Amino acid sequence: MDTLWAPWRMKYIDGINNDGSHSGCFLCAARDAKDDREALVFLRRPHAFAVLNRFPYNNGHTLIVPAAHKGDLADLPDDPMLALMTLTRDVLAVFRRVLRPDGFNVGFNVGRTAGAGLPEHLHLHIVPRWNGDTNFMPVLADTKVIPQALEDVYDRLTKALQDTP
Ligand SMILES: [Zn+2]
């Protein structure tokens, strides 16, 4: 399996404290944000929301997040669990229309050993994949490109969601 090369993630890794904790929960911060565009939250539901990952593995890398600060699937009641999966379904649908990927990686990293950057607040990753993207991504390996790419994809997604509620 080819590995995506995403050197701008070093900024994210640098933000993790020595004891492995974050200074605050960035997912709760996104949930409570007043400005959705600034927070990159592009879809909100009562029990869950979708936010673009500020340190993406690929264009459009999204986190599907339960509103409640819970670290384990076992702690989620049925309603938020269903909300998580219906939101995932709907985000995949809008991605297919707007970004036209060839595939997706969709899944949970449970526990820091498994790669969870924030094990205290459960989140499902959606990483759109395009044929040849493992060759393409080094071209985007300029950290200045990332904020611009994030705003661009955010605006395209929110526009598509407005056009087709
Ligand atoms: Zn949280």
pLDDT tens digits along 98-111: 999 999 999 988 88
Distance from Cα 52 to the centre of ligand 1, integer Å: 16
Q: Report CA(122)–ligand 1 centroid distance (Å).
A: 8
For the chain, what is the mean pLDDT?
82
Under CATH, domain 24-163 is a member of which superfamily?
HIT-like (3.30.428.10)
Q: How confident is the model at residue 126 (pLDDT cuts 50, 70, 90)?
A: very high
Is 69 designated active site? no
Single-letter amino acid code for the residue at 115: G
Give residue 18's pLDDT. 44
- The pLDDT value recorded for residue 44 is 97
Q: What is the pLDDT of residue 59?
A: 85
Helix, strand and coil in the chain, % to nearest 5: 40, 15, 40
Q: What is the 69 CA–ligand 1 centroid distance (Å)? A: 4
Residue 135, judged by CB atoms within 10 A of its CB (0-12, 13-18, 19+), counts as exposed
Which of 47, 61, 121, 123 is flagged as catalytic? 123
Q: Report the separation in Å between the CA atom of 48 and the middle of ligand 1, taken as the mean of its atom positions.
A: 12
124 CA to centre of ligand 1 in angstroms = 13
* Cβ contact 60:153 at 8 Å: yes
In angstroms, how far apart are the furthest CA atoms of the chain? 45
